[in-house]
Structure 1
Amino acid sequence: MHALWLQDRQLRLRADVPVPEPAAGEALVRVLCAGICSTDLELVRGYYPYCGVLGHEFVGIVESGPAQLCGRRVVGEINASCGTCDQCTRGQPTHCLQRTVLGIVQRDGCFAQYLTLPAANLHVVPDEVSTTAATFTEPLAAALEIEAQVPLQLRQRVLVVGAGRLGHLIAQTLAITGCDLWVGGRAPAQLAWLAARGLQVCVAA
């Protein structure tokens, strides 16, 4: 299959990457659309010694796996945990020391024609959600994780530092909580986009 391969901080398009074989409990997914994350760019710059297919934000169609998923459009949770270690049994699978991470740690990613993930990691995309919009599921989930970790009170003052792509998603998810939200950043155009949507912004010195 064709895939975008990272090795020694060099990216190249390969046409000879084998289609991955799903392990027990996994599904084979044909990739329809993939998003580029800052993590992908940092991997290219060498912040972590990854070798393989990049990418972890995707929408695809299940080609093989559980019958209820085959032929369905899906998105996926990127951490594939062991399910048996102390972290997993305590309900913290994203801290599993044995986990693989799609396109980041020991698992080829979605900048390819096909990928594999545990079937339990896959979520069906509703028909009314476009493939393009669904590609934002993974970064949106990361933004929503903040609310899960830090419960907010109505009108509690909150400052989001940074108005980049993830900052935008975080700000928009926090805005619906009713907190007193401010977004600080250095790029006037990014702040103007948020201000036009009713968010309070300030320019970082």
Structure 2
Amino acid sequence: MKALVYTGPESQAYLEVADPVQAEGEALIKVAHTGICGSDMHAFLGHDERRPAPLILGHEVAGTVISGRLEGKRVTVNPLVTCGTCDACQSGRDNLCPDRQIISMPPREGGFAEYLTMPEANLVAVPDHVTDAQAALAEPIACGWHGVRLAKRVLATDPSEAKALVIGGGAIGLGAALSLKAQGVPNVRLVEPNVERAAYLKSMCGIEVLTPEAADASGFYDLIIDGVGYAATRASASKLAKPGAVIVHIGLGSADGGLDIRRMTLQEITFIGTYTYTAEDFRETAQAMFDGRLGELNWVETRPLSDGQRAFADLRAGQVMVPKILLTPVS
């Protein structure tokens, strides 16, 4: 099969590689689309030791099962594979499984390829009215869905009255904003410094978008979701959080700095770090998509998998206004 293979910092090659081997209990999937995630970009730049070259990246996948129990079904893929037996898995917190694996990290190759094998339990069948491109958005949106669910458990304010701010207009931030609304938090603003992307979000997604400067002057918030995860965005979240507020940290841009620990301590601001989602979160996200509760999900651009290197370069250069690029194998 053809695949886009990460070969070293800032380098990928479109190569012929061995087809994946379908194990018992797994499905063989013909990939329709795979989204480019920020974690893929970190790996591409050589900043993620968990993703050593050579490796097939990509974990936001939708496609059609061509062998297995769900043969013929279009599916969206939960890329997080867990043991199912540990305390975390048994308590419904399977995203914290100590033996978890995710495609695009060894030993599991990712979805920037023509074919992929996955455990059948990780697949959600897609109804006819949902396109493959829409279905590929389940994974990034599920990150925000999970974060919103965690925040609501400790939020002191009634969700319907809470004032929420999302930092970052990529797929993670946008997915979090849409998840807030779908889960009963209607008063949502989003911060996006890229002027073109901000205009796109306003016109295509119905989201109120602020510049960082306008956000700094907009007062305090009951709930802030940082979908970027750099020192500067953590500092903004610390500054704009109302006393007693909740900060949800999804983005993994960098590991150090930004949090105002003194202010968070003195004003009892809750900080929640969140990693991926549970299997139930993923299924709930998919159902919300299928029910139309997350909007039209038309904020994507598709490009051929063979042109993946250019897509990564354009993203790095800030030349992409849509929140998500999907790479598509072309037979």
TM-score computed with the length of structure 2 as normaliser: 0.57
**Aligned partner of 1:116: which letter?**
T
Q: Does 1:163 align with 2:169?
A: yes
Q: Does 1:139 align with 2:147?
A: no
The aligned counterpart of 1:54 is: 57
**Aligned partner of 1:48: which letter?**
D
CA distance in 2, matches of 1:199, 1:59: 26
CA distance in 1, matches of 2:67, 2:110: 17
CA distance in 1, matches of 2:164, 2:35: 28
Q: Does 1:182 align with 2:183?
A: no
**1:68-87 map, 5 Å:** 69-87=70-88
CA shift in 2, pair 1:84/1:173, >3 Å: closer
Q: Does 1:200 align with 2:201?
A: no
Check the 8 A contact 1:175/1:199 in 2, yes or no. no
Check the 8 A contact 1:100/1:107 in 2, yes or no. yes
Instruction: Name which of 56, 64, 68 aligns with 2:67.
Output: 64
Structure 2 gaps, min length 5: 214-331
The aligned counterpart of 1:111 is: 112
Counterpart secondary structure, 2:198: helix
- Provide runs of 4+ in structure 1 moved above 4 Å: none
CA distance in 1, matches of 2:83, 2:56: 21
Which structure has greater helix proportion?
Answer: 2
Check the 8 A contact 2:164/2:187 in 1, yes or no. yes
Percent identity between matched residues is 34
User: Which region of structure 1 is more displaced relative to structure 2, 44-53 or 183-192?
Assistant: 183-192
CA shift in 2, pair 1:105/1:157, >3 Å: farther
Tell me by how many angstroms 1:164 deviates.
2.6
TM-score computed with the length of structure 1 as normaliser: 0.89
Which structure has greater strand proportion?
Answer: 1
Counterpart secondary structure, 1:182: strand
Tell me by how many angstroms 1:198 deviates.
4.7
Structure 1 gaps, min length 5: none
The aligned counterpart of 1:28 is: 28
The aligned counterpart of 2:7 is: 7
Tell me by how many angstroms 1:184 deviates.
2.0
Check the 8 A contact 2:64/2:72 in 1, yes or no. yes
Which whole-Å deviations, capped at 9, do the CAs of 1:153-186 have from their partners, x for residues lacking one? 1120111112233222222232342432222232
The aligned counterpart of 1:130 is: 131
Tell me by how many angstroms 1:105 deviates.
4.3
Alignment size in residue pairs: 202
Tell me by how many angstroms 1:47 deviates.
2.1
CA distance in 2, matches of 1:172, 1:158: 12
The aligned counterpart of 1:154 is: 160
